[in-house]
Amino acid sequence: MKFVDEAYIDISAGDGGAGCVSFRHEKYKEFGGPNGGDGGRGGHVFAVADANLNTLVDFRFSRRHDAKRGEHGMGSDMFGAAGDDITLKMPVGTIITDAETGEVLFELLNPGDVITIAKGGDGGFGNMRFKSAINRAPRQKTPGWPGEKKSLKLELKVLADVGLLGMPNAGKSTFITAISNARPRIADYPFTTLHPNLGVVRVGPEQSFVVADLPGLIEGASEGAGLGHLFLRHLTRTRLLLHIVDMAPFDEDVDTVAQAKAIVNELKKYDTDLYKKPRWLVLNKLDMVDSEKRAALVIDFVKRFKFKGPVFEISALTREGCESLVKEIYKHVKAQQVAEQMPEVIDPRFVNTPDA
């Protein structure tokens, strides 16, 4: 299935039905009177967060969505039936904004959330509504009210606790495969990841967190180079960023420190709030480094990179160091969740503002 995280749709709630002008005429009944019923309500347009969806691809090819109008009122005091509602299923994490003004209208953050994105118009009044002591044969009626019509932009931001950053071929997909149930495509060439992959990491009974693997970033990503900039929005809801660095690149002339700094600079250009998120440094592929040179290589990298946050040494391929990293990630995510529920309680051990 193609991953689509942005779509534009036009929606239209149903118009209300018109009221009816009618009078009672029955055999052997001396007195009649107005009996025109009201029109029916137009159909609403609802949006529901469906946990089984992870893309907006359905809305890329089906842009217009119209609810039914209400039926017109009828004689014999009969009201028109309400128009059928329509429900649009969207992935959890979808943001609905006004396509013309850019105003955020709704967010679907929890599975099963249901919101009304367009209200149907009320039905018009029939002439029985206008009967009075001085107007016993009213011929007035009102048309139905129009339903809401909107042009909307749908934007999907995946809900993950941890986001993976890094250059193409840094080992992000191998890492998420090693620690979670995700099975992204893995190959020995850049840009094998073409869309975000989500993986659930099980730490223990009822202990888990979600990791998002994004396409690799390259220098100039904030201006549109490469693929990673298209998906940086998916990191905005994460609680922790893992900056994964390839410590054994194929080209020995590659400056890994310069590449790591380029990633940080692109992050800062894209969104300063994203740049300020807690960020940990994960040095990967150390199984390919001579054990005698490993310690010196790590020390030199951290010193040149001038990183002040936590640093972890791992091999995603052999899973060396992954278990201890996962435990530390879970502690951090859990502490962040507690802090969000009780903002006044903040553990300083988990506050990290790296500056590279």
- State the CATH number of the domain containing residue 73: 2.70.210.12
Tokens coding 337: 């969740």
User: Domain range spanning residue 129?
Assistant: 6-156
356: in domain:
no
Whether residue 118 is found in the same domain as residue 167: no
Distance, CA of 106 to CA of 115 (rounded, Å):
8
Read off the pLDDT band of 187 (50, 70, 90). Answer: very low
Whether residue 49 is found in the same domain as residue 168: no
SS3 (DSSP) at 220: coil
1: in domain:
no
Contacts of 191 (CB under 8 A, 6+ apart): 168, 215, 216, 226, 227
> pLDDT per residue over 293-312, tens digit each?
888 888 888 889 888 888 99
> pLDDT per residue over 126-184, tens digit each?
999 999 888 888 999 999 999 999 999 998 877 778 888 888 778 888 888 888 875 65
pLDDT at residue 132, as a whole number: 87
Whether residue 168 is found in the same domain as residue 24: no
SS3 (DSSP) at 212: strand
Distance, CA of 311 to CA of 354 (rounded, Å):
11
pLDDT higher than threshold 70 for residue 34: yes
pLDDT at residue 204, as a whole number: 77
Tokens coding 165: 């950053």
> pLDDT per residue over 92-135, tens digit each?
888 899 998 889 999 898 888 999 999 999 999 999 999 988 88
Mean of pLDDT values over 78-86: 93
pLDDT higher than threshold 50 for residue 64: yes
Whether residue 265 is found in the same domain as residue 224: yes
Whether residue 28 is found in the same domain as residue 60: yes
- State the CATH number of the domain containing residue 241: 3.40.50.300
355: in domain:
no
pLDDT at residue 217, as a whole number: 57
The average confidence (pLDDT) of the chain is: 82
pLDDT higher than threshold 50 for residue 189: no
Read off the pLDDT band of 225 (50, 70, 90). Answer: very low
> pLDDT per residue over 305-347, tens digit each?
888 888 998 888 888 888 899 999 988 888 887 777 665 544 5
270: in domain:
yes
pLDDT higher than threshold 60 for residue 350: no
pTM over 0.85? The answer is: no
- Asked if 193 and 187 count as a contact pair (C-beta separation under 8 A), the reply is no
Whether residue 175 is found in the same domain as residue 232: yes
Q: Which of 156, 186, 213 is the last residue of a domain?
A: 156
pLDDT at residue 348, as a whole number: 53
SS3 (DSSP) at 33: strand
141: in domain:
yes
Distance, CA of 263 to CA of 220 (rounded, Å):
9
Report the number of distinct structural domains present in the chain. Answer: 2
Q: Which secondary-structure segment (H or E) carries 95?
A: strand 94-98
Q: Which amino acid is at 334?
A: K
Whether residue 282 is found in the same domain as residue 238: yes
pLDDT at residue 219, as a whole number: 54
Whether residue 120 is found in the same domain as residue 230: no
283: in domain:
yes
Contacts of 54 (CB under 8 A, 6+ apart): 3, 91, 158, 198
> What single DSSP character describes residue 343?
T
Whether residue 92 is found in the same domain as residue 204: no
Q: Are strands 311-313 and 162-165 parallel, antiparallel or unpaired?
A: unpaired
Whether residue 211 is found in the same domain as residue 139: no
> pLDDT per residue over 227-275, tens digit each?
445 567 767 778 888 898 888 887 777 888 888 888 888 788 877 888 8
Whether residue 151 is found in the same domain as residue 177: no
Q: Which amino acid is at 90?
A: M
Q: Which of 156, 187, 204 is the last residue of a domain?
A: 156
pLDDT higher than threshold 70 for residue 287: yes
Whether residue 134 is found in the same domain as residue 197: no
Phi, psi of 72 (to 5 degrees): -75, 155
Q: Which of 156, 185, 208 is the last residue of a domain?
A: 156
